[in-house]
Chains A and B, each alone.
Chain A
């Protein structure tokens, strides 16, 4: 039994896949280093990211399919699904062993699996674009917390940088405890050490909020309530489109909470 253990990064995973294919080694599992528990009976291979190996495999994949399909593999990786490594391994193997591009062979299992994962990731990415709510702080930074199911914040950065080019902003992943800060020039990865933000509620505390912030939250909540047509009430559809797990970030759904806690 062969277990490949990689360094938690995408580059590391592709290095592991590269080595396995190169050495003709059939892995029974590919695991992240931080999720690996020792197994006495298995042969273990510890693999660190090797950028040369990563790039040579990445280029070959691009050649055999295309850029968009490679992005699919990366998106599937961000799902952090427990079996994603083997799904990616199978998919890459399929690509390399086929004489033609198998990208659209929707009756093949590993094509279907990759597509399902990347679809879930894509959907969660879209939800970040929809439901991120910035709170303006005293130092004119627009701050937002989010708790995405998958590790998708990196996929949203281009969108927010293009859209909010003239304001400083932070988007913070409260589940993975890291985020990104845009300082009008570039986007940098950050962590937050102070207590100005609650990791549970995602809210900026009231001393750090801009003086106008609560007014605009209240205006927005007032607008949201007034635009509803009560004769058309349809809670089922409402809940389907706006699942409860997002409510704590939305002033229109959680305003009471934000007033008392902030």
Chain B
């Protein structure tokens, strides 16, 4: 009983400080790994990932995000944990993190652990302690749940190798999309110090895949790949430079995910940073939409952002924006066009496009069929023809008018909503 009491106040405090320090890391994905529960141990990793809660900011809570310590020898301008900040600091013992992970996991609070750390003493020292947590979970507790480890730039290859054997995913955060701006805000870092560990991880993942092809029982190395994070709005970098970097990371470093994090002014006293009234959440959202178009809709990055359009349109989504800029590609014939072309219709997602291709084998599709399939006709109707009388498309109406119609419909919908709430207030009083 006494021991429980002691653990209580101290651990609760540590947990709060550590979570508070780790919360700006947006990665929370627990998907992509298929680790089975071997020999009746604890847990497994489900390939599609599971969210277990949602905080008031609307973000999903899947992994327990902790910093092993929030002490740090670096002084990066955008980071809440920079060494010059006078904040509460704490360091976990390896066993504390292991116990918390196991106890939370057993109660179905979490899918697993996301562990990062401030850099203390030197990169190897820091990374070694993180690897110990992962090793203890896997080896001593037979824990098969998800583990995401943040790789510490500058740590030895040997430690990266060990980390990858215990973790489901490794990540190295780039944070700032261009090197001069990175150097200005984080004088201790440069691109090569970040890209080098990425390359090491990439090589090991490829080697490991080859090895597992030959030897079925070879241990997997970071089976859920690697990811990174880019801060948006802390520097004047354009969406074009952010997305071009992201695209090349996907292509050349085989990253599984690039995360975008709207800059939250944690160190407003630092004059190198812009003053923002609120975090650029809309822009962040548009970047994610473009990321999706790139990964699941077969768009090239330069089709969405380029020299003529270096920044994303905040009023409308990037897919609609692309369609309005390229009216000659439309209308697309739903009953004849290829899957790839149907994917380019605003208002039709991956699932609807697949259903259309399957369903049209049974007969020609009209508007009612499309609606049942789940197509958002309010948008799609300007960009398609189907088994129906012809209605005006983008070519007759002209792009700027379609844009106006869609925007005003959006506004009207919002207005209707506020009117309704006012009305119900009125009737109940």
Number of chain B residues whose Cβ lies closer than 8 Å to a Cβ of chain A: 60
Report if A229-B15 is in contact (Cβ < 8 Å); known contacts: A106-B373, A241-B54.
no
Report if A241-B60 is in contact (Cβ < 8 Å); known contacts: A104-B359, A226-B15.
yes
Report if A133-B57 is in contact (Cβ < 8 Å); known contacts: A106-B359, A163-B37, A223-B19.
no
A-B CB pair tally, cutoff 8 Å: 158
For the complex with contacts A106-B358, A166-B41, A224-B55, 12 further pairs of A-B residues with Cβ separation under 8 Å are A104-B355, A107-B359, A133-B109, A134-B107, A222-B16, A224-B61, A226-B23, A228-B56, A235-B58, A237-B58, A238-B56, A240-B58
Query: Does B410 have its Cβ within 8 Å of any Cβ on chain A?
Result: no
- Cβ contact of B23, chosen from A134, A166, A229, cutoff 8 A: A229
Chain B 363-397, CB within 8 Å of chain A: the 1/0 string? Answer: 10100110011000000000000000000000000
Q: Is the CB of A229 within 8 A of B61?
A: no
Chain B residues whose CB sits within 8 angstroms of the CB of A234 once the complex forms: 56-58
Contacts of B55-74 to chain A: CB distance below 8 A: 55-61, 64-65
Q: Which of A27-35, A80-88, A210-218 contacts B (4 or more CB under 8 A)?
A: A210-218
Chain A CB within 10 A, most for which of B59, B65, B278: B59
Q: Which of B42-50, B166-174, B298-306 contacts A (4 or more CB under 8 A)?
A: B42-50
- Cβ contact of A231, chosen from B41, B42, B44, B278, cutoff 8 A: B278
Report if A229-B60 is in contact (Cβ < 8 Å); known contacts: A105-B362, A224-B55, A238-B55.
no
Q: Is the CB of B57 within 8 A of A163?
A: no
Question: Which chain B residue shows the least CB distance to A250?
Answer: B53
Q: Give A223 to B14 CA distance when docked, in angstroms.
A: 10
| Shortest Cβ gap from A179 to chain B (Å) | 15
Report if A134-B56 is in contact (Cβ < 8 Å); known contacts: A106-B373, A219-B100, A229-B24.
no
Question: Which chain A residue shows the least CB distance to B281?
Answer: A232
Query: Does A220 have its Cβ within 8 Å of any Cβ on chain B?
Result: yes
Interface residues of chain B, those whose CB is within 8 Å of chain A, are 1, 4, 7-8, 11-12, 15-17, 19-20, 22-24, 36-37, 40-44, 46, 50-61, 64-65, 100, 103-104, 106-109, 142, 262, 264, 278-279, 281, 355, 358-359, 361-363, 365, 368-369, 372-373
- Cβ contact of A106, chosen from B41, B64, B262, B369, cutoff 8 A: B369
Number of chain A residues whose Cβ lies closer than 8 Å to a Cβ of chain B: 54
Query: Does A92 have its Cβ within 8 Å of any Cβ on chain B?
Result: no
